[in-house]
């Protein structure tokens, strides 16, 4: 083989390779942008229903197959959409709030309770018969509130802190909805009443019912 | 030798204290008081309801726990309720102005007072 033929052979091979490279031109990218518009509303609905989230996630593999040939930025955006949507909605779920409530030292059990019925809207932790304890706490809160009303007072209860031999308990009505309260129970030896009280107040801003 | 009056007097001297009392939770009546809260009788009765409800709750749960103290934060005042260890049907009650008082200090002073109290 002559040097020239080897050269041209190499050049020919390079020319053959070029069409196989992905096409990075704008028109392909904008077609993916159009597809994103279909995708994003489903992702926004994700926090409202778990089903919607799984739908959004199901869409990702389908998009991913076609995305292999697209440019890297377009491939990243649809995958990110489900992760972005919950943050855009900005509402921690009741379970997350309860976990946060449970995060003080010595925390045993926490609950969000409706004082009118004594029933629990959500709870986390263990070591206490929380349903019974919450019913008792509702009675306590109603007793105190009833007295205030009966005397023509207009005071609201911010919180009730109960120290027992082995436990501390916080009953904290929500400022925006005083018939609902957060109820925290902690081990007395390990927990700080003040810390538990702080956690209860902190959760006020997060709880959305 | 009964030191109720002196004890209540010491409590009322705390910054922000409105009224202090010794209350019988079985009747809701005030055994002794210090300070000038016009509603003392009424709030003592209200807190009696509270203590009774808590004792009943403890009974239902089958708990052997005893109430050490109960702190109630209201819009403009703190209430500290502390049953006597020697006689749990009687409690010490201190009402304080929320803005002028230190709840933790008051709670400590009430605990101290309760330990030294002789009926």
Q: Quick one: what percent of chain B has pLDDT higher than 70?
A: 99
Residue A22's pLDDT band, with cuts at 50, 70 and 90, is confident
In angstroms, how far is the first alpha carbon of chain B from the final one?
A: 8
- The distance from CA A93 to its chain's CA centroid, rounded to whole angstroms, is 5
Q: What is the pLDDT of residues A37-48, one digit of tens each?
A: 666 655 444 444
Any CB–CB contact under 8 A between A206 and chain B? no
CA distance A82 to chain B (A): 43
CA distance A136 to chain B (A): 5
Residue A36's pLDDT band, with cuts at 50, 70 and 90, is low
Largest CA distance in chain A: 111
DSSP state of A165: S
The reported pLDDT for the residue numbered B112 is 95
Query: And the tokens for B75?
Result: 């819009």
Question: So what's the ipTM on this one?
Answer: 0.92
Beta strands in chain B (DSSP E): 17-24, 29-35, 67-74, 77-83, 90-97
Contact criterion met (CB < 8 Å) for B73 and A161? yes
Q: Which of A129, A146, A154 sits opposite B61 (nearest CB)?
A: A129
> 3-state DSSP call for residue B23?
strand
d(CA A137, CA A65): 55
CB A140 within 8 Å of CB A160: yes
d(CA A45, CA A181): 29
Where along chain A do its domains lie? 3-88, 94-204
Residue A170's pLDDT band, with cuts at 50, 70 and 90, is very high
Any CB–CB contact under 8 A between B111 and chain A? no
Domain B4-116 has CATH 3.30.450.30: yes
Contact criterion met (CB < 8 Å) for A147 and B46? yes
CB B80 within 8 Å of CB B108: no
Q: Looking at domain A94-204, which CATH architecture does it have?
A: 2-Layer Sandwich (3.30)
CB B57 within 8 Å of CB A167: no
Q: How far is CA A186 from CA A133, B66, B85, in A?
A: 13, 15, 22
Long-range contacts of A19-23 (CB under 8 A, 24+ apart): A22/A69, A22/A70, A22/A71
Angle between helices B40-61 and A130-150 (to 10 degrees): 170
Is the pLDDT at B38 greater than 80? The verdict is: no
The reported pLDDT for the residue numbered B12 is 94
CB A195 within 8 Å of CB A105: yes
d(CA A66, CA A60): 10
Nearest CA in chain A to B41: A151
């Amino acid at each position: 083989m002559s040097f020239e033929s080897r050269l041209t052979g190499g050049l020919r091979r390079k020319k053959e390779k070029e069409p196989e490279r992905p096409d990075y031109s704008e028109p392909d990218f904008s077609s993916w942008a159009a597809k994103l518009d279909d995708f994003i509303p489903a992702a926004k609905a994700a926090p409202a229903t778990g089903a919607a989230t799984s739908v959004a996630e199901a869409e990702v593999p389908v998009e991913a197959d076609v995305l292999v040939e697209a440019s890297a930025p377009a491939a990243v955006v649809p995958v990110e959409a489900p992760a972005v949507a919950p943050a855009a909605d900005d509402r921690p779920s009741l379970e997350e709030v309860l976990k946060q409530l449970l995060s003080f030292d010595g925390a045993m059990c926490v609950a969000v309770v409706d004082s009118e019925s004594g029933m629990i809207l959500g709870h986390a932790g263990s070591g206490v018969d929380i349903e019974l304890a919450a019913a008792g706490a509702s009675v306590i809160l109603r007793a105190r509130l009833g007295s205030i009303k009966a005397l023509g007072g207009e005071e609201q209860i911010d919180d009730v802190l109960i120290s027992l031999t082995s436990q501390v308990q916080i009953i904290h009505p929500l400022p925006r909805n005083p018939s609902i309260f957060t109820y925290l129970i902690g081990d007395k030896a390990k927990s700080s009443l003040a810390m538990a009280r702080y956690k209860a107040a902190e959760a006020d801003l997060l709880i959305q019912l | 030798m009964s030191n109720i009056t002196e004890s209540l007097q010491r409590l009322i001297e705390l910054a922000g204290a409105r009224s202090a009392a010794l209350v019988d939770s079985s009747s809701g009546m005030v055994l002794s008081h210090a300070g000038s809260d016009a509603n003392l009788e009424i709030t003592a009765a209200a807190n009696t309801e509270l203590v009774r409800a808590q004792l009943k709750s403890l009974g239902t749960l089958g708990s052997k726990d005893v109430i050490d103290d109960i702190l109630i934060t209201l819009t403009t005042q703190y209430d500290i309720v502390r049953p006597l260890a020697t006689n749990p049907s009687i409690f010490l009650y201190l009402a304080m102005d929320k803005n002028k008082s230190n709840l933790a200090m008051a709670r400590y002073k009430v605990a101290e007072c309760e330990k030294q109290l002789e009926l």
